[in-house]
């Protein structure tokens, strides 16, 4: 595909500076981060059901109302557009700088969408296209599940953060959080398109669920009629397009489809009892927890578990009352009886908040907590990874090319410059060192607690083990006395914590019994003993355990008998509530599995009432009942019941280590709280962190990082949340890059969490922690080149913990000095290091680091002798401590110092010794250092013309860099290899190979500018080969570079790339494309408005034809009509002269000498004006040649002689002598043949002969002597001179093995008509 020119219409600029896209209504509705108070009931439930597809992701996601045609086919696919806006967080105004950077990034991703598609794949969306000129991304969906997950992620606020991680530069994260101009990315979603896509996909599925105008859920059949259908649900015969009539209003209202999550829940395998409720429940009835209820009528319980009460009695609700369930658990205030109460016979007015409905105990509330999953030791380990700079503990390598700082990318958003005053820094350093000297032996204080869990999660789990029931396999299980202690413990009427492992069949209570059959036999005997002894609670518990063991072996009928016996034995006793809940739920589950619908219908409501309405600590709850409870909540549109069911399902799957199954329920629970819960609740933060951990385990890095970002914005003062988020960022941020890309060692995404940790109360009270956080933040800024900010933050760390140990303070001061060296402020760094050395508070290992670093600063300030002394001192310290790596580093630095002063032999000695030491170390430890030393050694050999040794060093460095996987080292080495095979030892094949490898590295490092430059270079390499196949390869690389320059908006490079492609088409003789590409190149140059670029481009376009062999006449129009007027207009005399000379030569070759005279005279005048003697001589010579061709002999002779007069005297080069020979020979020919003057011609020939003799050119002498002999013999009648020149010509002919020369004039007659013999008169 041929690349074409691109442009940006003015309409796009209007869109960037406006509040919305052009041509569309700019209606932005605020998201529901702070929703208006919503009253519970049918209206609230209906609103939640209909509006859940709105992207309520906080103020970072806005829904754009887009008008859609009523006639739009609902079954057609509707694509979803996401418009990106960079706005200031405080004011909401557009940030033009970041918006431009976003547009550039989008433009680059238009041609390489793999990374964007991967990100949207995590969000369950399919990328269609990217429109960078509109700041818009278009996605689509093919299945109902995709749009469900995408809408959930949008509602939770993940989408903007995912796009931030993908699109913005790393500097974006380093901005101060308290900055009022903090910029955020806002995503505008077309709400109507999202809803239309949802409806379209539902109708394609066949049957789905809708919310009717009467606020009841119904199943309907879409236009397709077929589809997968709904298992177990008989769909209504009403088509989804047919309206329903509201009884109250009499208006026609179309039923609205349920939310995607509700559709997914109801599409699960349904059972006939799903909808067989005893009475119709009003939709939207809230779920209540606790409270005092009033009996509305008399009720006589049909069993011991059901409560008997009279109208007007007060009943205390235990747990929660779930809408849609016939029963709830209560306690009679007067009698104290506990039992099931019919919900329709009581009235409760209190409306608790959502949080108290979801969690019915502190144990449930702490389920999401980080306690037990993240300890203080884990937090300290994370901070150690980020706070300790390498420059403090190891010697640093000096680089001769480090003074050349990398130029910042103009598309990036730089941070405001921060350069602390050197005098203030030095004063603070000296004060700190004085304090260290005052108390040199301060003992290291024990680390203060940060308020986190002090032990690891594994140790916490071991410490929290509960007491068990050890069973003695040697005991007599039929003797009551032998089992007395066990039965007494099992016969306790209430619940104890030790029963938990018993009910859950956890291993500790089994004791020494490992054979399950033996265990069942013993328990059966104990059951008989308990029955005979009249111990009902012990009997119930033993029956329950036997039933659980039977379920484990899939003996459902036998398990049902045991559970029914346990339920009967309980006799309405609710003192051990977890046991009652477990018996009811397992019994109902068995009825469900055996399809015993009659007994299931009698048991399920009570089981669900206990399951949802009580805080039961029983593990292993049957998931079928929880799913049924969730479906009941959806049918009754109760948000509280839905949230409670989602929490129990998420808890169930998490405990079973099924994170993928727990995801939808945890996401829905957080979404419900985001819509309906209190804003000051703390548990959602831990819920987001648990969700992020689940995403991380599922290898979804974009979602994981977005989730922790949302959590951190909710809990700005939580130290545990911040440090845990840092750990996840360190693990997940590298995975944002594909396997072929390089990832930063310290991602900039750490900065917001470090700032959050600094704002926590724990950091405010613990100076050590605060200093560590400052040090970590300084390391992140330093890693991304923000040295001014890094210095300021590191000095804050020093000031915060000024009373720390001397070793720690010296490390931080050394880090400050190193940051100054990286910033190029070597004098300040040297002052800091000398202050440390003078204070004499550094340890021996630190003395070596200080000496090495000070020597680097001394070398850069020109103090070579002191630098060498510092390096030798550091070398002695390293040898004394036996540190081979440090010895190698110092030797390499000494070699660099010798190179700096030009001592090549000494530099070679030190570098070779460094290579020997580095090669003895593991590759991980020596990789980058060995690579750098080999490059320096290779450069030294290159300057000494030792090509073989240089190549060996470069290739060895290349192998080391590839082994260590360091992309930056590989890039440096390959650049040297490319230079070596291009200039030092030219080898076209090797040069192409290494340039190709360098191109692959540029792609991995996502350096588009370097990639475009390399594509240009490789194209030139192929072009120089001169074959048709090479031309086609060069064309391919040129087009690829063209695409990159278009994306980068590099108009100058783009214009030259178009022109280069046209030049290659000229070589391929595809002339119909040459003019097209040249025209596009001209348009690109004119777009910039730079006349100098236009001048250069027009001249280069003319050069294509001027230097070629075909259609050379086209160069005239480029030179004369386009380039030359621009040169005159811009006053570029040099370009005028160059173009005039080219036109003279071109017109002379095209047989247009008369037209060339004008430009020759112009070139002569410009040469005289510019005082360019060489060009003046060329102009005279070309004027003479033109006049000669026009037959103006006298003028031609005049200009030839003027050209000769400008030559140096005496002649300096053989070329000048040869020029004399040729000009005098041309003058002799012109005078002899054109002006018919043999005498003057003989004079010029003699001058030419003298120059030829001086040059020693025998061929020229033969030619000139022959002509002189002919002239003197035939025309001047001088026999003596004729004989002289004839003999000389014979001598030269003999020497040159040329046949005999004749002196007859007849062979000249065809050139000179006046010499021809005249016929007789």
The reported pLDDT for the residue numbered 892 is: 94
Is residue 1042 predicted with pLDDT exceeding 90?
yes
Is residue 56 predicted with pLDDT exceeding 80?
no
The reported pLDDT for the residue numbered 24 is: 34
Is residue 244 predicted with pLDDT exceeding 50?
no
Three-state SS string across 58-98, please? CCCEEEECCCCCCCCCCCCCCCEEEEEEEEECCCCCECHHH
Nearest-Å Rg of the Cα atoms of the chain is 45
Q: How many CB atoms lie within 10 A of CB 487?
A: 20
pLDDT above 70 covers a percentage of the chain that reads 80
Of 462-466, 1200-1204, 1311-1315, where does the model show the most confidence?
Answer: 1200-1204
Which sign does the torsion angle of CA 925, 928, 934, 937 carry?
Answer: negative
How large is the average pLDDT for residues 1064-1068?
93
What is the rounded average pLDDT for all residues in the chain? 80
pLDDT band at 477 (very low <50, low <70, confident <90, very high): low
How large is the average pLDDT for residues 1134-1146?
92
How large is the average pLDDT for residues 420-445?
71
The reported pLDDT for the residue numbered 71 is: 41
Q: Omega into 499 within 30° of 0, i.e. cis?
A: no
Query: In 1049-1090, which ranges are continuous DSSP H helix?
Result: 1051-1067, 1071-1088
> Which pLDDT tens digit goes with each residue over 796-809?
888 887 777 888 88
The reported pLDDT for the residue numbered 225 is: 47
pLDDT band at 1143 (very low <50, low <70, confident <90, very high): very high
The reported pLDDT for the residue numbered 740 is: 44
How far apart, in whole angstroms, are the C-alpha atoms of residue 646 and residue 669? 6
- Between 1192 and 680, residue with greater pLDDT: 1192
- Phi, psi (rounded to 5 degrees) for 980: -65, -45
Of 391-400, 480-489, 524-533, 1044-1053, where does the model show the most confidence?
Answer: 1044-1053
Is residue 984 predicted with pLDDT exceeding 50?
yes
How far apart, in whole angstroms, are the C-alpha atoms of residue 999 and residue 983? 19
The reported pLDDT for the residue numbered 430 is: 82
How large is the average pLDDT for residues 1055-1069?
93
The reported pLDDT for the residue numbered 248 is: 43
How large is the average pLDDT for residues 475-496?
72
- Phi, psi (rounded to 5 degrees) for 994: -75, -30
Is residue 72 predicted with pLDDT exceeding 50?
no
pLDDT band at 177 (very low <50, low <70, confident <90, very high): low
The reported pLDDT for the residue numbered 891 is: 94
- Residues 1010 and 1022: beta-carbon distance below 8 Å: no
How large is the average pLDDT for residues 906-912?
94
Measured at the CA of 1215, the angle between CA 1213 and CA 1219, to 5 degrees, comes to 125
Is residue 1242 predicted with pLDDT exceeding 70?
yes
- Phi, psi (rounded to 5 degrees) for 22: -65, 140
Of 53-62, 181-190, 433-442, 582-591, where does the model show the most confidence?
Answer: 582-591
Is residue 336 predicted with pLDDT exceeding 60?
yes
Q: Using alpha carbons, select from 794, 642, 782 the residue that is nearest to residue 283.
A: 642
The reported pLDDT for the residue numbered 543 is: 93
The reported pLDDT for the residue numbered 994 is: 95
The reported pLDDT for the residue numbered 735 is: 82
* β pairing state of 252-253 and 80-88: unpaired
Tell me the C-alpha to C-alpha distance, in Å, between residue 1228 and each of 591, 1205, 1231, 1233, 1238: 125, 17, 5, 8, 8
The reported pLDDT for the residue numbered 1089 is: 87
pLDDT band at 170 (very low <50, low <70, confident <90, very high): confident
Tell me the C-alpha to C-alpha distance, in Å, between residue 1040 and each of 117, 952, 1017, 1033: 21, 33, 12, 11
- Between 623 and 458, residue with greater pLDDT: 623
Token code pair at residue 320: 């929660």
Kindly state the DSSP code that residue 288 receives in the 8-state scheme.
Answer: E
The reported pLDDT for the residue numbered 352 is: 58
How large is the average pLDDT for residues 689-711?
91
How large is the average pLDDT for residues 1136-1140?
92
Token code pair at residue 797: 């760390």
pTM above 0.95, yes or no: no
pLDDT band at 679 (very low <50, low <70, confident <90, very high): low
> Which pLDDT tens digit goes with each residue over 125-167?
999 999 988 999 999 998 888 989 999 999 999 999 999 988 8
How large is the average pLDDT for residues 88-97?
83
**Beta-carbon-side half-sphere exposure of residue 1136 (alpha carbons within 13 Å):** 21
Q: How many CB atoms lie within 10 A of CB 1070?
A: 14
- Between 1028 and 43, residue with greater pLDDT: 1028
Poorest-pLDDT segment among 23-32, 71-80, 121-130, 709-718: 23-32
Poorest-pLDDT segment among 228-232, 705-709, 840-844, 1002-1006: 228-232
- Between 183 and 1095, residue with greater pLDDT: 1095
How far apart, in whole angstroms, are the C-alpha atoms of residue 1048 and residue 1084? 14
The reported pLDDT for the residue numbered 680 is: 63
> Which pLDDT tens digit goes with each residue over 194-207?
888 888 888 887 78
Q: How many CB atoms lie within 10 A of CB 416?
A: 9
The reported pLDDT for the residue numbered 404 is: 37
- What three-state secondary structure class fits 189? strand
Is residue 48 predicted with pLDDT exceeding 50?
no
> Which pLDDT tens digit goes with each residue over 1262-1303?
888 988 888 888 888 888 888 898 888 888 888 888 665 555
- Residues 607 and 585: beta-carbon distance below 8 Å: yes
The reported pLDDT for the residue numbered 393 is: 78
How large is the average pLDDT for residues 995-999?
94
Token code pair at residue 795: 């000095």
């Amino acid at each position: 595909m041929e690349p074409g020119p691109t442009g940006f219409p003015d309409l796009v600029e209007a869109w960037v500076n406006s509040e919305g896209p052009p041509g569309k209504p700019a209606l932005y509705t605020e998201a529901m981060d702070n929703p208006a108070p919503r009253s519970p009931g049918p209206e609230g439930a209906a609103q939640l059901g209909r509006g859940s597809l709105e992207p309520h992701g906080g103020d970072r996601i806005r829904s754009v109302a887009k008008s859609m045609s009523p006639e739009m086919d609902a079954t057609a696919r509707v694509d979803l557009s996401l418009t990106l806006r960079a706005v200031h967080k405080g004011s909401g105004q557009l940030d033009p700088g970041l918006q431009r950077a976003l547009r550039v990034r989008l433009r680059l991703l238009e041609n390489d969408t793999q990374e964007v598609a991967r990100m949207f794949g995590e969000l369950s969306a399919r990328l269609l296209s990217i429109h960078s000129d509109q700041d818009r991304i278009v996605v689509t969906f093919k299945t109902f599940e995709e749009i469900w997950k995408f809408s959930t992620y949008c509602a939770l606020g993940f989408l903007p953060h995912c796009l931030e991680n993908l699109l913005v530069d790393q500097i974006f994260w380093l901005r101060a959080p308290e900055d009022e101009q903090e910029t955020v990315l806002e995503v505008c979603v077309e709400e109507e398109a999202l809803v239309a896509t949802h409806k379209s996909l539902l109708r394609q599925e066949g049957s789905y669920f809708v919310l009717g105008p009467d606020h009841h859920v119904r199943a309907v059949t879409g236009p397709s009629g077929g589809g997968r259908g709904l298992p177990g649900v008989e769909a209504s015969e009403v088509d989804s397009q047919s309206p329903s009539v509201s009884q109250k209003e009499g208006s026609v209202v179309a039923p609205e489809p349920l939310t995607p999550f509700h559709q997914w829940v109801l599409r699960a395998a349904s059972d006939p009892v799903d909808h067989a409720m005893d009475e119709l429940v009003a939709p939207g009835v809230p779920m209540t927890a606790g409270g005092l209820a009033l009996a509305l009528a008399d009720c006589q319980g049909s069993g011991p578990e059901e409560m008997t009460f009279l109208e007007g009695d007060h009943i205390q609700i235990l747990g929660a009352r779930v809408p849609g369930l016939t029963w709830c658990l209560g306690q009679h205030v007067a009698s104290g009886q506990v039992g099931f109460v019919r919900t329709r016979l009581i009235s409760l007015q209190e409306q608790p908040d959502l949080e108290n409905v979801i969690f019915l105990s502190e144990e449930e509330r702490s389920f999401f907590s980080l306690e037990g999953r993240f300890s203080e030791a884990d937090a300290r380990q994370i901070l150690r990874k980020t706070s300790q700079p390498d420059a403090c503990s190891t010697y640093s390598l000096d680089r001769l090319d480090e003074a050349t700082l990398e130029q910042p990318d103009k598309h990036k958003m730089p941070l405001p410059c921060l350069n602390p005053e050197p005098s203030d820094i030095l004063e603070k350093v000296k004060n700190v060192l004085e304090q260290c000297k005052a108390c040199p032996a301060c003992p290291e204080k024990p680390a203060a607690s940060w308020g986190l869990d002090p032990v690891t999660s594994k140790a916490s789990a071991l410490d929290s083990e509960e007491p068990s029931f050890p069973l003695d396999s040697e005991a007599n299980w039929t003797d009551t006395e032998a089992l007395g202690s066990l039965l007494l413990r099992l016969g306790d009427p209430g619940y104890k914590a030790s029963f938990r492992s018993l009910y859950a069949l956890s291993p500790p209570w089994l004791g020494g019994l490992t054979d399950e059959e033996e265990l069942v036999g013993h328990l059966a005997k104990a059951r008989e003993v308990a029955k005979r002894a009249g111990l009902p609670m012990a009997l119930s518990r033993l029956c329950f355990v036997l039933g659980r063991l039977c379920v484990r072996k899939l003996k459902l009928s036998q398990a049902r008998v045991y559970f029914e016996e346990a339920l009967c034995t309980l006799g309405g006793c609710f003192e051990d509530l977890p046991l009652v809940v477990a018996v009811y739920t397992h019994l109902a589950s068995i009825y469900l599995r055996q399809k015993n619908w009659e007994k299931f219908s009698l048991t399920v409501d009570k089981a669900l009432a206990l399951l949802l309405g009580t805080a039961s600590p029983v593990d292993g709850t049957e998931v079928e009942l929880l799913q049924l409870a969730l479906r009941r909540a959806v049918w009754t549109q109760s948000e509280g019941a839905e949230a409670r069911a989602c929490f129990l399902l998420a808890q169930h799957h998490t405990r079973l280590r099924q994170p993928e199954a727990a995801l939808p329920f945890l996401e829905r629970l957080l979404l419900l709280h985001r819509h309906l819960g209190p804003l000051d609740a703390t548990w959602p933060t831990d819920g987001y962190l648990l969700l992020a951990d689940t995403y991380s385990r599922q290898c979804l890095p974009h979602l994981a990082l977005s989730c922790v970002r949302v959590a951190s914005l909710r809990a700005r003062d939580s130290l545990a949340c911040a440090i845990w988020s840092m750990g996840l960022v360190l693990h997940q941020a590298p995975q944002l890059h594909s396997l072929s890309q390089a990832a930063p060692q310290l991602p900039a995404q750490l900065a917001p969490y470090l700032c959050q940790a600094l704002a926590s109360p724990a950091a405010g009270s613990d100076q050590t922690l605060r200093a560590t956080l400052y040090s970590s933040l300084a390391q992140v800024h330093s890693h991304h080149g923000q040295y001014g900010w890094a210095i300021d933050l590191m000095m804050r760390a020093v000031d915060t913990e000024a009373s720390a140990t001397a070793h720690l303070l010296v490390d931080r001061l050394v880090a400050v000095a190193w940051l100054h060296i990286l910033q190029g402020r070597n004098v300040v760094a040297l002052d800091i290091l000398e202050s440390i050395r003078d204070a004499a508070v550094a340890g021996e290992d630190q003395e070596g680091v200080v000496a090495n670093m000070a020597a680097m600063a001394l070398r850069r300030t020109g103090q070579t002798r002191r630098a060498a002394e510092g390096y030798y001192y550091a070398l002695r310290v390293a040898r004394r401590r036996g540190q081979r790596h440090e010895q190698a580093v110092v030797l390499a630095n000494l070699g660099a110092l010798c190179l700096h002063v030009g001592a090549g032999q000494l530099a070679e000695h030190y570098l070779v010794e460094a290579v020997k030491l580095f090669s003895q170390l593991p590759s991980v430890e020596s990789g980058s250092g060995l690579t750098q030393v080999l490059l320096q050694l290779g450069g030294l050999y290159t300057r000494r013309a030792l090509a073989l040794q240089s190549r060996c060093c470069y290739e060895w460095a290349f192998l080391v860099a590839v082994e260590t996987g360091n992309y930056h080292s590989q890039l440096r080495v390959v650049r040297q290899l490319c230079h070596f095979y291009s200039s030092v030892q030219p080898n076209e094949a090797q040069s192409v190979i290494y340039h190709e490898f360098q191109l692959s590295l540029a792609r991995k490092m996502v350096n588009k500018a370097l990639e475009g430059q390399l594509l240009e270079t490789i194209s030139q390499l192929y072009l120089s080969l001169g074959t048709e196949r090479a031309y086609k390869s060069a064309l391919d690389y040129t087009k690829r570079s063209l695409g990159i320059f278009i994306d980068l908006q590099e108009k100058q490079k783009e214009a030259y790339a178009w022109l280069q492609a046209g030049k290659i088409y000229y070589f391929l003789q595809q002339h119909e494309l040459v003019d097209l590409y040249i025209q596009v190149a001209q348009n690109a140059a004119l777009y910039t408005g730079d006349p100098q670029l236009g001048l250069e481009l027009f001249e280069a376009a003319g050069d294509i034809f001027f230097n070629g062999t075909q259609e050379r006449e086209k160069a005239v129009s480029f030179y004369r009509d386009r380039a030359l007027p621009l040169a005159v207009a811009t006053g570029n005399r040099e370009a005028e002269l160059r173009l005039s000379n080219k036109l003279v030569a071109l017109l002379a070759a095209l047989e247009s000498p008369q037209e060339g005279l004008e430009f020759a005279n112009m070139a002569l005048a410009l040469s005289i004006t510019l005082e360019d003697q060489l060009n003046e001589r060329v102009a005279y010579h070309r004027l003479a040649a033109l006049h000669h061709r026009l037959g103006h002999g006298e003028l031609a002779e005049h200009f030839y002689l003027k050209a000769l007069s400008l030559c140096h005297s005496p002649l300096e080069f053989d070329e000048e002598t040869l020029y004399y020979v040729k000009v005098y020979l041309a003058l002799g020919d012109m005078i002899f043949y054109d002006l018919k003057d043999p005498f003057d011609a003989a004079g010029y020939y003699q001058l030419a002969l003298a120059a030829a003799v001086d040059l020693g050119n025998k061929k020229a002498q033969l030619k000139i002597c022959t002509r002189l002999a002919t002239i003197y013999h035939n025309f001047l009648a001088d026999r003596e001179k004729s004989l002289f020149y004839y003999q000389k010509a014979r001598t030269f002919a003999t020497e040159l093995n040329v046949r005999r020369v004749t002196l007859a004039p007849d062979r000249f007659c065809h050139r000179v008509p006046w010499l021809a013999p005249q016929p007789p008169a």
